[in-house]
């Protein structure tokens, strides 16, 4: 309770002290901090190294700042110091060792502000030379190999064992791991160690020791010499091997017997193991062949199915001092009932229908040997070839390819193209699914059937398979088409029906196209199985006039006709109407003139005394009126004119023109015969010609062009 008021008093006193105002207003900044290594960043072992930490601080006050320095090696803090001086911080590494190698950095803390320098690496090279000590200078050969150990001390102990006799030089080295680097020391002093041989050894004996032939029985023994002298207390083992095959094993003696074979490596090994020491002795036993490995051959070398063939088995070498050639027997494996042995080692018969493997087996004195396997692949006779044309068609006069192919047959196959049994060309096919190709040209369609194809893959066969005659479509190219216009161009009038007939020669189907110059698309397109067609235009108008042409297309070519210009004339009824109008106008003019002169004459008659009015009536004709009529008598006469044949239309209808003549008769007793006579003709025109008959079938058209 007494301390609390005192502490409060001290805090208040410090707060109101005049100097505290200066401290509260003081400011600073850490401008930089660096770390350097002296005398250099890489030094040899034993050098006195100084780690220097330099901080640059700017301050506004005169009072010193409390500074806390820290030195780090890697991530480990190895040194810390508090100071109020602005001098550099020095950290000493006297007699530097490899363990001092690493990355160093420096950190400073001033009143809560921190800054850290960049890392600088120090490398100390060189390790102290190690010293090797041995407790024995002479050791036996049952020793271990040199070992390695990882320790944290400056000393290590090894137990060494040597596996070979003689003198061995031993030295040691050590390495210091400073992750991620490793530093290796110099080699220590060298010590010579003498290793003496153990007197116990393995012994290998093989009987018989004279020349050994195939089939001889070998007796093999593996034993130990100087068994009594065994300085080691380790157990003893014996192993008898032939190559990698372990034949037998034991502790003191091993026996084994086998039959000598020439094809197997006859190398035997007797191995003695005592602890980690192994002693080995080996022997190679040469074995003489009774007979060599047989070979199998086939005659002929190339055979076809069900064809005669012969297989021969033979051993080239025979040990005549032991056996005769007659003592060697031969057989086939597996047995083949189609082949029989005609003499020793020879087998004859028919070839099988499929591939088969044969092995020759030779036997003598209990020894069996097998030849290499012979694969017999009987060839297959070629089947009847098929003949065809590429794309199934040929164009007359143009080159095309004929294909020849057999579905069955061993390769190579020779194909020959025949023309009425006369050979034209031969080609050889080596690969399956490949077809023989022949390029030819024909001038007449019937020539296509004269081609045949012959196939051959066996020279022993005199008559080879022959194909059927070639049957293919022959396309005849189209000739230049002819464009015909009906009716004739001079007779084409408005309202008529126009027929454009396009005909050509060539193989159907033919596609016809009719064009008018200036139009983007054809006027009419059709495909026909005959070589002509037509395009009809109903009710011709002036707009149908123009230049026309047609195109014919088939699988061989396309051709164009010459161009024909069509001019549509005015219709006849229009011509007749115009003529009638002109005639009416003319008649009106004539009638006007007649009426004019008649009125003039009437005025003259009234002023004069007419002789006709004073003539007495005829006494002989009581029925004649004494009164003269004012209207003159009119006679009507029908005049028939024959109508000429109109060549413009076909067929034409004959007609007549009826002319009505009005004759005015003068009054009875008139003396002046030259008085005016007027006449009016009424012409009956023929009715309009019927339209051109519609074509319902090709019988009404002109004979088509073939």
pLDDT in tens, 522-549: 999 999 999 999 999 988 888 888 999 9
Which structure tokens are listed for 187? 């080699």
- Residue 366 pLDDT grade (very low, low, confident, very high; cuts 50, 70, 90): confident
- Residue 6 pLDDT grade (very low, low, confident, very high; cuts 50, 70, 90): very low
> For 295-376, CATH number?
2.60.40.10
pLDDT in tens, 376-411: 999 999 999 999 999 888 999 999 999 999 999 999
> What average pLDDT does this structure show over 315-319?
92
For tokens 């050791």, name the residue.
139
Domain 201-288 falls in which CATH fold?
Immunoglobulin-like (2.60.40)
Residues present in the chain in total: 706
Residue-level pLDDT at 38: 93
Fold matches, 386-475 and 482-572: yes
Sequence-separated (6 or more) residues with CB below 8 Å from residue 263:
293, 369
Residues of 17-34 as b/e, b for ≥16 C-beta within 10 angstroms? eeeeeeeeeeeeebeebe
Does residue 692 register a pLDDT over 90?
Answer: no
Residue-level pLDDT at 186: 76
pLDDT in tens, 158-185: 777 666 777 788 888 877 776 677 777 7
Bridge partners, 241 (sequence order): 246, 269
User: Edge to edge, what strands does the sheet with 400-405 contain?
Assistant: 386-389, 400-405, 436-440
Residue-level pLDDT at 230: 58
Residue-level pLDDT at 14: 34
Task: Report which of residues 107 and 233 the model is more confident about.
Answer: 107
Residue-level pLDDT at 592: 84
> What CATH number does domain 386-475 carry, 2.60.40.10, 1.25.40.10, 2.60.120.10, 3.40.50.300?
2.60.40.10
Task: Report which of residues 133 and 633 the model is more confident about.
Answer: 133
Does residue 694 register a pLDDT over 70?
Answer: no
pLDDT in tens, 21-58: 334 456 899 999 999 999 999 999 889 999 999 999 98
pLDDT in tens, 505-523: 999 999 999 999 999 899 9
pLDDT in tens, 128-149: 778 777 776 555 555 444 556 6
- Residue 587 pLDDT grade (very low, low, confident, very high; cuts 50, 70, 90): confident
DSSP string, 166-209: EEEEE----EEEETTEEEE------EEEEEEPPS-EEEEEEE--
Weakest mean pLDDT among 11-20, 286-295, 473-482, 590-599: 11-20
Alpha-carbon distances, residue 76 vs 79, 80, 103, 197, 262 (angstroms): 9, 11, 10, 55, 74
The Cα 339–Cα 313 span in angstroms is 13
In the chain, pLDDT over 90 holds for what percent of residues?
43
Task: Report which of residues 658 and 456 the model is more confident about.
Answer: 456
Domain 22-125 falls in which CATH fold?
Immunoglobulin-like (2.60.40)
Task: Note every long-range contact of 629-637, with CB atoms under 8 Å and residues 24 or more positions apart, other chains counting.
Answer: 632/664, 632/665, 632/666, 632/667, 633/664, 633/665, 634/662, 634/663, 634/664, 634/665, 635/662, 635/663, 635/665, 636/660, 636/661, 636/662, 636/663, 637/661, 637/663
Looking at residue 675, what DSSP letter applies? S
> What average pLDDT does this structure show over 247-258?
91
> What average pLDDT does this structure show over 8-16?
32
Please say whether the beta carbons of 434 and 471 come within 8 A: no
> What average pLDDT does this structure show over 445-457?
94
Domain ranges of the chain: 22-125, 138-196, 201-288, 295-376, 386-475, 482-572
Residue-level pLDDT at 142: 52
Please say whether the beta carbons of 98 and 176 come within 8 A: yes
∠ CA 136-138-139, rounded to 5° = 90
> What average pLDDT does this structure show over 626-639?
38
For tokens 């690493």, name the residue.
102
Residue-level pLDDT at 275: 78
- Residue 10 pLDDT grade (very low, low, confident, very high; cuts 50, 70, 90): very low
User: What class has domain 482-572?
Assistant: mainly beta
Does residue 456 register a pLDDT over 90?
Answer: yes
DSSP string, 469-532: PP--EEEPPPPPPEEEEES-GGG-BTT--EEEEEE--SPSPEEEEEEETT-SS-SEEEEESSSE
Residue-level pLDDT at 629: 38
Sequence-separated (6 or more) residues with CB below 8 Å from residue 545:
566, 567, 568
Q: How far is CA 279 from the centre of its chain?
A: 66
Bridge partners, 566 (sequence order): 546
Alpha-carbon distances, residue 73 vs 41, 51, 104 (angstroms): 14, 11, 5
Q: What is the mean pLDDT of the chain?
A: 78
């Amino acid at each position: 309770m007494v301390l609390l008021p005192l502490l409060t008093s001290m805090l208040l006193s410090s707060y109101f002290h005049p100097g505290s105002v200066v401290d509260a207003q003081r400011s600073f900044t850490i401008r930089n901090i660096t770390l350097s290594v002296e005398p250099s960043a890489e030094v040899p072992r034993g050098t006195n190294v100084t780690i220097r930490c330099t901080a640059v601080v700017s301050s506004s006050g005169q009072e010193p700042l409390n500074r806390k320095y820290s030195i780090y090696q890697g991530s480990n803090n190895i040194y810390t110091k508090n100071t109020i001086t602005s001098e550099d911080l020095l950290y000493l590494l006297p007699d530097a060792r490899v363990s001092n190698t690493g990355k160093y950095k420096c950190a400073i803390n001033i009143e809560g502000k921190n800054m850290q320098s960049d890392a600088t690496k120090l490398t100390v090279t060189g390790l102290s030379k190690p010293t090797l000590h041995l407790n024995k200078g002479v050791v036996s050969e049952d020793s271990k190999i040199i070992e390695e150990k990882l320790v944290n001390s400056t000393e290590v102990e090894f137990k060494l064992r040597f596996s070979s006799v003689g003198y061995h030089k031993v030295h040691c080295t050590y390495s210091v791991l400073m992750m991620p680097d490793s530093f290796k020391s110099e080699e220590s002093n060298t010590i010579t160690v003498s290793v003496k041989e153990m007197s116990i050894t393995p012994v290998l004996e093989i009987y018989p020791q004279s020349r050994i032939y195939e089939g001889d029985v070998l007796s093999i023994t593996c034993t130990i010499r100087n068994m009594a002298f065994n300085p080691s207390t380790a157990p003893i083992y014996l192993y008898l091997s032939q190559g990698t095959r372990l034949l037998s094993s034991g502790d003191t003696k091993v026996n084994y017997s086998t039959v000598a074979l020439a094809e197997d490596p006859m190398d035997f090994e007797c191995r003695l193991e005592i602890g980690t020491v192994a002693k080995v002795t080996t022997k190679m036993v040469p074995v003489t062949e009774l007979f060599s490995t047989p070979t199998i051959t086939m005659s002929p070398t190339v055979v076809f199915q069900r064809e005669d063939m012969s297989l021969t088995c033979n051993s080239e070498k025979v040990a005549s001092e032991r056996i005769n050639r007659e003592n060697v027997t031969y057989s086939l494996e597996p047995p083949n009932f189609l082949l029989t042995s005609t003499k020793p080692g020879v087998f004859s018969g028919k070839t099988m229908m499929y591939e088969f493997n044969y092995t020759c087996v030779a036997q003598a004195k209990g020894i069996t040997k097998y030849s290499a396997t012979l694969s017999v692949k009987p060839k297959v006779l070629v089947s009847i070839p098929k003949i065809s044309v590429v794309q199934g068609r040929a164009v007359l006069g143009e080159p095309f390819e004929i294909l020849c192919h057999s579905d069955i047959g061993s390769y190579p196959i020779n194909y020959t193209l025949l023309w009425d049994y006369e050979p034209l060309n031969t080609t050889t096919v080596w690969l399956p699914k490949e077809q023989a190709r022949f390029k030819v040209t024909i001038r007449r369609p019937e020539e296509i059937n004269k081609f045949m194809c012959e196939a051959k893959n066996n020279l022993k066969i005199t008559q080879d398979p022959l194909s059927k005659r070639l049957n293919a479509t022959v396309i005849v190219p189209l000739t230049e088409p002819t464009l015909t216009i009906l009716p004739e161009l001079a007779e084409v009038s408005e309202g008529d029906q126009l027929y454009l007939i396009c005909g050509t020669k060539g193989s159907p189907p033919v596609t016809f196209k009719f064009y008018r110059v200036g139009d983007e698309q054809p006027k009419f397109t059709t495909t026909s199985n005959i070589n002509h067609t037509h395009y009809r235009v109903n009710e011709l108008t002036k707009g149908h006039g123009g230049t026309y042409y047609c195109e014919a297309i088939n699988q061989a070519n396309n051709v164009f006709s010459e161009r024909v210009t069509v001019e549509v004339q005015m219709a006849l009824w229009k011509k007749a109407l115009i003529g009638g109008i002109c005639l009416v106008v003319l008649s009106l003019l004539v009638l006007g003139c007649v009426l004019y002169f008649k009125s003039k004459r009437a005025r003259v008659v009234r002023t004069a005394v007419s002789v006709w009015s004073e003539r007495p009536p005829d006494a002989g004709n009581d029925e004649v009126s004494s009164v003269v009529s004012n209207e003159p008598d009119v006679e009507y006469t029908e005049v028939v004119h024959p109508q000429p044949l109109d060549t413009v239309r076909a067929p034409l209808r004959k007609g007549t023109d009826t002319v009505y003549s009005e004759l005015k008769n003068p009054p009875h007793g008139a003396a002046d015969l030259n008085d005016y006579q007027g006449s009016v003709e009424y012409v009956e025109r023929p009715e309009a010609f019927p339209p051109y008959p519609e074509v319902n079938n090709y019988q009404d058209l002109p004979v088509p062009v073939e």
